[in-house]
Amino acid sequence: DIQMTQSPSFLSASVGDRVTMTCRASQSINNYLNWYQHKPGKAPKLLIYAASSLQSGVPSRFSGGGSGTDFTLTISSLQPEDFATYYCQQSYSTLVTFGGGTKVEIK
Amino acid sequence: EVQLVESGGGLVQPGGSLRLSCAASGFTFRSYMMNWVRQAPGGGLEWVSYISSSPSTIYYADSVKGRFTISRDDAKNSLYLQMNSLRAEDTAVYYCARARAGITRDFDYWGQGTLVTVSS
């Protein structure tokens, strides 16, 4: 199975901050990398697919980058509704796998 | 509007069985690949199983292979997960998720989840 490693596990930031989190795959996955936002008690929400494509309806402050094994998710100006846990997911393999998550908390 | 609504969760003893359902609406269900994903208490997201549109191709995570069975009824716009030989570590919120048509296979719509608790 392809292992996905996210860092950091926790990120403390303030409203208006620019934040970046990373996701590393154990082997090349080309650009088959997706990002999700998850809030407690809610359905996970797709933010970015194919590494850098913004899902319809997602604010443009979210952006994704990278290819191969190393990927990033950036929030250009953190908003109060952005405090959540973010997961990367590889869909290169038939057995998809998620990273362990990055929890974004209020400083 | 696309909607996915899970049901069937509850409290079950170790070794027991449970069948989860996911009712889909707002899209042509038979044309889409579907998945089950779970989140254990305090844990992250874990993909559980996948079923393609008919004729069906099916995959399972190693952690549930041989114990869980995914199926679909396109006439009823429904996805199912039959869970047998349940263990304490299967305790989780179970989500059904639609995979986007095409090669990216990202999960573009998710349900709200149903809680399964395995405990004596």
The average confidence (pLDDT) of chain A is 96
What is the pLDDT at residue B55? 72
B52-79 burial, b at 16+ Cβ within 10 Å, e below that, comes to ebeeeeebbbeebeeebebebebeebbb
Q: Residue for token digits 């409290």?
A: B11
Q: Do A98 and B44 count as a contact with CB atoms less than 8 A apart?
A: yes
pLDDT band at A17 (very low <50, low <70, confident <90, very high): very high
> Chain B: residue nearest A90 by CA?
B106
Q: Do A100 and B59 count as a contact with CB atoms less than 8 A apart?
A: no
Q: Is B28 exposed, middle or buried (0-12, 13-18, 19+ CB in 10 A)?
A: exposed
The average confidence (pLDDT) of chain B is 95
Which residues neighbour B96 within 8 Å (Cβ) at sequence distance 6 or greater? B4, B6, B20, B22, B24, B34, B35, B36, B37, B79, B110, B111
pLDDT of A29 above 90: yes
Q: Do B47 and A99 count as a contact with CB atoms less than 8 A apart?
A: no
Structure tokens given for B12: 């079950």
Q: What is the pLDDT of residues B14-58, one digit of tens each?
A: 999 999 999 999 999 999 999 999 999 999 999 999 999 977 799
Compare CB distances from B95 to A43, A95, A97 and report the shortest one's residue.
Answer: A43
Distance from CA of A55 to the nearest CA of B (A): 8
For residue A23, the chain B residues in CB contact (below 8 A) are none
pLDDT of B101 above 90: no
pLDDT band at B102 (very low <50, low <70, confident <90, very high): confident
Compare CB distances from A50 to B45, B47, B104 and report the shortest one's residue.
Answer: B104
> Chain A: residue nearest B96 by CA?
A43
pLDDT band at A65 (very low <50, low <70, confident <90, very high): very high
Q: Report yes or no: B86 and B14 within 8 Å, Cβ to Cβ.
A: yes
> Chain B: residue nearest A29 by CA?
B104
pLDDT band at B104 (very low <50, low <70, confident <90, very high): confident
Compare CB distances from B44 to A42, A43, A87 and report the shortest one's residue.
Answer: A87
Question: Do the strands A102-106 and A85-90 form a parallel or antiparallel pair, or are they unpaired?
Answer: antiparallel
Distances (CA, A) of A65 to A69, A72, A74, A75, A78: 11, 5, 8, 12, 18
Q: Do B45 and A42 count as a contact with CB atoms less than 8 A apart?
A: no
Neighbours of B30 (CB within 10 A): 13
Q: How many helices (H) and strands (E) does chain A have?
A: 0, 11
Residues facing B46 on adjacent strands: B38
Between A107 and A51, name the one with better pLDDT. A51
What is the pLDDT at residue A20? 98
Neighbours of A18 (CB within 10 A): 11
Q: What percent of chain A shows pLDDT beyond 90?
A: 97
For residue B46, the chain A residues in CB contact (below 8 A) are 98
For residue A46, the chain B residues in CB contact (below 8 A) are 106-108
pLDDT of B103 above 90: no
Distance from CA of A34 to the nearest CA of B (A): 6
| DSSP secondary structure, A38-82, as one string | E-TTS--EEEEETTTEEPTT--TTEEEEEETTEEEEEESS--GGG
What is the pLDDT at residue B54? 77
Distances (CA, A) of B94 to A92, B12, B27, B101: 23, 14, 21, 22
pLDDT band at A91 (very low <50, low <70, confident <90, very high): very high
What is the pLDDT at residue B92? 98
What is the pLDDT at residue B52? 93
